[in-house]
């Protein structure tokens, strides 16, 4: 018996709906993040070192709003924005709880909004740096490092300082030593120039790859 026309199912359309509903649930490729917990650099292979020499090949700004701290609950970001132009940052469409149309007008991104009652912001403003070892090859892994809100001004000043000494894009043209401020109880990173890179061609090749990898959306590991 032939089924009535209204009972016929277009399987291609139904499976296409499933694909659309689930595509955003796919896990992004894992990026190699460096931990700074305890004022020590912990590399993706679990090696720990007190300081690190590297070449910074790219960096972006990331704003992330986390829920109030609860030691019994694994935190998940409520809202985030990322990009290269701080003035034009807007919450990602993937944020589960978008707070505003843009970061510039968001009440959570204003001083005094901190959930602990302090003068800071509820939304953490950070940088993400893409770094490679000084002796990198074109196939070398690109590591990611978060610069906490307390390090924003220090990184900005370093970028300007290096450009004055080494020219445009100077942060890519020098080997940088990363260490921790001994006068801080928390991991606040100090940037010190070591010398010019010896393999600028390799740096430029890796930067093309880094410019894509660095745009991985924020998550609880970075």
Is 158 exposed, middle or buried (CB count within 10 Å of its CB: 0-12, 13-18, 19+)?
A: buried
Residue 34 has pLDDT above 70, yes or no: yes
| CA–CA gap between residue 27 and residue 75 (Å, rounded) | 17
pTM of this prediction?
0.80
Residue 221 has pLDDT above 70, yes or no: no
| CA–CA gap between residue 30 and residue 208 (Å, rounded) | 18
pLDDT tens-digit readout, 123-165: 999 999 999 999 999 999 999 999 998 889 999 999 999 999 8
**What does the pLDDT average to over 110-119?**
81
Q: 143: how many CB neighbours lie within 10 A of its CB?
A: 21
Name the more confident of 195 and 73. Answer: 195
**What does the pLDDT average to over 84-109?**
93
β-pair type (79-83, 52-65): antiparallel
| CA–CA gap between residue 178 and residue 92 (Å, rounded) | 30
Query: What integer best gives the mean pLDDT of the chain?
Result: 87
Q: What is the pLDDT of residue 115?
A: 76
Q: What is the pLDDT of residue 13?
A: 79
Q: What is the pLDDT of residue 17?
A: 77
**What does the pLDDT average to over 100-106?**
94
Contact 218, 200 (CB under 8 A): no
Residue 188 has pLDDT above 70, yes or no: yes
113 to each of 11, 103, 117, 122, how far by Cα in Å? Answer: 50, 13, 7, 5
pLDDT tens-digit readout, 51-77: 999 999 999 999 999 887 777 777 788
pLDDT tens-digit readout, 157-186: 999 999 998 888 999 999 999 999 999 999
Name the more confident of 191 and 67. Answer: 191
Residue 14 has pLDDT above 80, yes or no: no
Question: Residue 142: CB partners within 8 Å, gap ≥ 6?
Answer: 31, 32, 57, 130, 131, 132, 206, 209, 210, 213, 214
- Label residue 1 by pLDDT band (50, 70, 90): very low
Residue 13 CA, distance from chain mean position: 37
Degrees to nearest 5, angle at CA 94 with 115 and 155: 60
């Amino acid at each position: 018996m032939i089924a009535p026309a209204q009972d016929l199912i277009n399987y291609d359309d139904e499976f296409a709906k499933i694909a659309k509903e689930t595509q955003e649930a796919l896990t992004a490729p894992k990026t190699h993040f460096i931990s700074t917990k305890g004022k020590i650099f912990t590399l993706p292979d679990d090696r720990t070192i007190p300081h690190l020499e590297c070449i910074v090949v790219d960096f972006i700004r990331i704003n992330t709003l986390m829920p109030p701290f609860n030691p019994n609950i694994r935190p998940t970001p409520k809202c985030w924005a990322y990009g290269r132009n701080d003035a034009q940052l807007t919450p990602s469409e993937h944020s589960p709880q978008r707070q505003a149309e843009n970061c510039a007008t968001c009440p959570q991104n204003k001083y005094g909004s901190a959930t602990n009652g302090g003068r800071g912001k509820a939304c953490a403003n950070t940088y993400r740096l893409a770094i490679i070892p000084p002796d990198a090859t074109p196939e070398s892994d690109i590591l990611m490092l978060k610069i906490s809100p307390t390090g924003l001004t220090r990184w900005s000043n370093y970028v300007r300082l290096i450009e004055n000494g080494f020219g445009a894009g100077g942060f890519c043209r020098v080997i940088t030593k990363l260490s921790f401020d001994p006068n801080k109880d928390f991991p606040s990173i100090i940037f010190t120039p070591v010398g010019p890179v010896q393999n600028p061609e390799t740096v430029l090749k890796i930067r093309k790859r880094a410019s894509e990898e660095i745009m991985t959306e924020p998550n609880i590991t970075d």
